């Protein structure tokens, strides 16, 4: 399943650099690629397509095409992911990936291409590991440095010999809530997009074992009947450090963590959610010269929780002026660049309800205009120590040969994602 070659082209099709790994495709394959791209409408072009027995896989990044081709029965998804990894590595080295940075760093780029892919097969793709032995200073040395041990072991994402005076690991369970509510109060769309973020400051080569609460079930179980109150996770993606064989056998998430920050897993729950913050707005226009808003905001979570930095954006006509506000909590201001009112509530406790009134003059807008333009209300918030799904960490064990004591810290955060409520 190898790649034949990798090309980087500008938007006109000029080849900026290329690396031929197998010698089975001609150089003018890049010209054929551009002819195909130019001949099709932009909406018809796919990131993976086949032409005359050659599979083209590409990513358009800023003003560049990063493209690989293969004449073999390759894993196209794997090669597409490799291209994104290539972009990540180049960005880590050069900060900005563009034509000028490529021209200034030809030597190190070809060194990276040789280390990241061998005879068309992806190898080391971790920027942190590559930066340990492929550096700008490397070419000033007379003796070539040895590759780091991480590249020659099964744990390519972590180097040996890491030491910290205080061993700690921080784990954040973050859930983003996406909600769309119709004008009549019906929830049209609701989902939870979650992730488990880890910040590891652990010495040596520790093994971590993470256990989630019994309510969590995974789509891969293929269970036809779920227990009452179970959380069925979909689209679960684990970091490469997770031992999938152990997870498949007993649902324990066992892993040797990379150093410092990384995303351990991400997931999605497509489930019916009661909106955590409910907002209603009554809009009244008077004699085509002014408009008044009565906005009611209600928190629909338990009183022991508190939403922080709540921002409620209520749309107003684009030529509204002379704003006047009155609210029993928080601050209100007119945001003309968004044609909206921002009602900001720093602390919104659960099971509470607040009111806000707004008044605007309308120098030219008619009542017909008001009836036509009705963007939705959008809400931003963050609720600490709370998850909508009910996911909880039962235990986080840290095992290391030296037997040191480490402190695990777990935090839960729920945030607003694409959170919209339509006006009536």
Summarize pLDDT for 137-165 with one digit per residue, the tens. Answer: 433 333 445 555 545 556 778 888 889 99
- 285 alpha-carbon distance from chain centroid: 41
Cα-atom radius of gyration of the chain, to the nearest Å?
27
Q: 5-152 adopts what CATH topology?
A: Beta-Lactamase (3.30.450)
Q: Using CA atoms in the order 33, 38, 44, 47, what is the torsion angle rounded to 10 degrees? A: 30
Beta strand 216-218 with 231-238: parallel, antiparallel or unpaired?
parallel
Q: Each residue of 356-386: b (16+ CB within 10 Å) or e?
A: bebebebeebeeeebeeeeebbbbbbebeeb
Please compute, for residue 200, the number of CA atoms within 13 A of its CA located in the half-sphere on the CB side. 24
Where are the domain boundaries for CATH 3.30.450.60 in the chain? Answer: 5-152
Where are the domain boundaries for CATH 2.60.40.1170 in the chain? Answer: 168-273+388-422, 277-364+374-384
Q: What pLDDT, on a 0 to 100 scale, did the predictor assign at position 134?
A: 76
> H or E element: which one contains 248?
helix 244-250
Q: How far apart are CA 8 and CA 64, in angstroms?
A: 7
Q: Can you list the residues of the chain whose pLDDT is less than 70?
A: 1, 42, 136-154, 214-231, 287-288, 364-373
**Residues in the chain, how many?**
424
Q: What pLDDT, on a 0 to 100 scale, did the predictor assign at position 142?
A: 39
The two structure tokens encoding residue 345: 């509530």
Q: What pLDDT, on a 0 to 100 scale, did the predictor assign at position 138?
A: 36
Q: 168-273+388-422 adopts what CATH topology?
A: Immunoglobulin-like (2.60.40)
The two structure tokens encoding residue 256: 């040797």
Q: How far apart are CA 90 and CA 109, in angstroms?
A: 8
Q: Which CATH number fits domain 277-364+374-384: 3.40.50.300, 3.65.10.10, 2.60.40.1170, 2.40.70.10?
A: 2.60.40.1170
Residue 63's beta-bridge partner residues? none
Q: What pLDDT, on a 0 to 100 scale, did the predictor assign at position 148?
A: 54
């Amino acid at each position: 399943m190898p790649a034949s070659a990798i090309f980087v082209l500008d938007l006109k099709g000029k080849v900026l650099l290329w690396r031929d790994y197998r010698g089975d495709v001609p150089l003018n394959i890049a010209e054929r690629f551009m002819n195909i791209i130019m001949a099709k409408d932009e909406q018809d072009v796919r990131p993976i397509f086949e032409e005359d027995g050659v599979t083209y896989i590409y990513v358009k990044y800023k003003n560049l095409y990063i493209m690989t081709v293969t004449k073999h029965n390759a894993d196209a998804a794997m090669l597409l992911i490799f291209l994104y990894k290539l972009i990540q590595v180049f960005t880590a080295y050069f900060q900005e990936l563009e034509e000028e940075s490529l021209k200034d760093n030809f030597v190190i780029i070809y060194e990276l291409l040789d280390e990241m892919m061998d005879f068309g097969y992806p190898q080391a793709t971790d920027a942190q590991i590559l930066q340990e032995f492929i550096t700008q200073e490397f070419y000033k040395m007379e003796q070539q440095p040895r590759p780091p041990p991480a590249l020659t072991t099964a744990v390519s994402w972590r180097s040996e010999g890491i030491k910290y005076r205080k061993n700690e690991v921080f784990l954040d369970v973050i859930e983003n809530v996406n909600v769309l509510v119709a004008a009549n109060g019906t929830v049209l769309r609701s989902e939870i997009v979650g992730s488990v973020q880890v910040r590891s400051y652990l010495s040596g080569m520790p093994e971590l074992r993470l256990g989630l609460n019994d309510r969590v079930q995974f789509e891969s179980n293929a269970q036809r009947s779920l227990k009452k109150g179970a959380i069925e996770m979909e689209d679960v993606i684990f970091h490469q450090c997770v031992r999938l064989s152990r997870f498949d056998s007993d649902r324990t998430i066992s892993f040797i963590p990379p150093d410092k920050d990384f995303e351990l897993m991400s997931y999605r729950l497509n489930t019916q959610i009661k909106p955590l913050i409910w907002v209603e707005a009554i809009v009244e226009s008077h004699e085509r010269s002014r408009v008044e808003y009565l906005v009611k905001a209600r928190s629909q979570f338990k009183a022991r929780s508190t939403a922080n930095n709540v921002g409620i954006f209520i749309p107003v006509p684009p030529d509204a002026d002379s704003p006047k506000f009155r609210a029993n909590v928080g601050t209100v201001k007119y945001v003309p660049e968004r044609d909206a009112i921002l009602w900001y509530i720093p602390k919104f406790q659960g099971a509470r309800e607040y009111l806000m009134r707004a008044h605007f003059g309308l120098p030219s807008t008619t009542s017909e205009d008001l009836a036509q333009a009705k963007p939705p209300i959008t809400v931003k918030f963050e609720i600490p120590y709370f998850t909508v799904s009910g996911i909880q960490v039962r235990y986080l064990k840290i095992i290391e040969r030296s037997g040191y004591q480490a402190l695990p810290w777990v935090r839960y955060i729920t945030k607003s994602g694409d959170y919209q409520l339509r006006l009536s």
